[in-house]
Structure 1
Amino acid sequence: MAIKYEWQGDFDDASLNRLHADGFGSPVAQTDWQARLERHSLGWVCARENGNLIGFVNVVWDGGAHAFILDTVVARHLRSRGVGAALVAVAAKEARAAKCEWLHVDFEEHLRSFYFDACGFRETAAGLIAL
């Protein structure tokens, strides 16, 4: 069956918490995603296969020109099939439609090829303080 991508798609917190645990190799959390997204997000993209949540990306913003993608995750068994790049493409399209001028991303070094080659981001100078 085809994978379906939906801007601001419906999800339940338990499904998204399980997806994050699978995708990031961590214990299942009890994050209240609905409240978090309502407070901070321009939107999000859900990927579903056979009705199951198999991918997600959060698009936060500054209320103006800058949007940021966070929490990009794909179920482990579906990695390297273009799901993550498709999630980011929908996120970029919707951020552009919201009149954002820039889409930012931070990532760990092992994800460099994904974000630069598969998603089309370009390298920029940036700074970070570990808190």
Structure 2
Amino acid sequence: MELRVRFPVDDQVLSALHSLAFGAPGEVEPWAARLERHALTWVGAFDNDELIGFVQVCWDGGAHAFVLDTAVHPDHGRKGIGSQLVARAADESRAAGCEWLHVDYEPHLASFYLDACGFTPTDAGLLKLR
């Protein structure tokens, strides 16, 4: 398994991975354009040039960065790939000068982000816009 930072993104391949990882069918999304416009960085996990994991980091242009879209192909789950992706994303965020790395997650992912990735739980708010 190889981690690649800011790799050239194929929208169809990343959309398919995202759909498999989240167990929901989805349309092809314009990942490459979104990442170039909004992301500080992104990291892919590859096995023989097949994309098997992904995470992106968005930021405020200053001290705060945000983990989004952590996904690992179900056939490759529970092997530490997700935590390696997040660790590399944290390294890249630190190197960019960020002081804080934030993540929002559903309750069933708490042990992953808190135990495997080392995040500290905090209070946060959420406003549904649609």
TM-score of Structure 1 vs Structure 2, range by shorter chain: over 0.9
Secondary structure of the residue aligned to 2:32 is helix
Question: Which residue does 1:85 correspond to in 2?
Answer: 83
Q: Is the 8 A contact 2:16 2:28 kept in 1?
A: no
Question: Which residue does 1:122 correspond to in 2?
Answer: 120
The amino acid that maps onto 1:113 is S
Q: For structure 2, which runs of at least 5 residues remain unmatched after alignment?
A: none
**How big is the shift at 1:124?**
1.1
Which stretches of structure 1, 4 residues or more, deviate above 3 A after TM superposition? none
Q: For structure 1, which runs of at least 5 residues remain unmatched after alignment?
A: none
Percent identity over paired residues: 56
**How big is the shift at 1:10?**
2.1
Kindly report the root-mean-square deviation, in angstroms, between the aligned alpha carbons of the 2 structures: 0.8
- TM-score normalized by the length of structure 2: 0.96
Structure 1: how far apart are the matches of 2:7 and 2:45? 8
**How big is the shift at 1:29?**
1.5
Moved more, 110-119 or 23-32: 23-32
Q: Over residues 61-120 of structure 1, what are the superposed CA-to-partner deviations in whole Å (9 max), with x where a residue is unaligned?
A: 000000001000000011110000000000000000000000000000000000000000
Question: Which residue does 1:26 correspond to in 2?
Answer: 24
Is 1:7 matched up with 2:5? yes
- Number of matched residues? 129
Is 1:53 matched up with 2:51? yes
Is 1:38 matched up with 2:49? no
- TM-score normalized by the length of structure 1: 0.96
**How big is the shift at 1:129?**
1.3
Structure 2: how far apart are the matches of 1:79 and 1:29? 23
Structure 2: how far apart are the matches of 1:125 and 1:32? 32
Secondary structure of the residue aligned to 1:59 is strand
Secondary structure of the residue aligned to 1:56 is strand
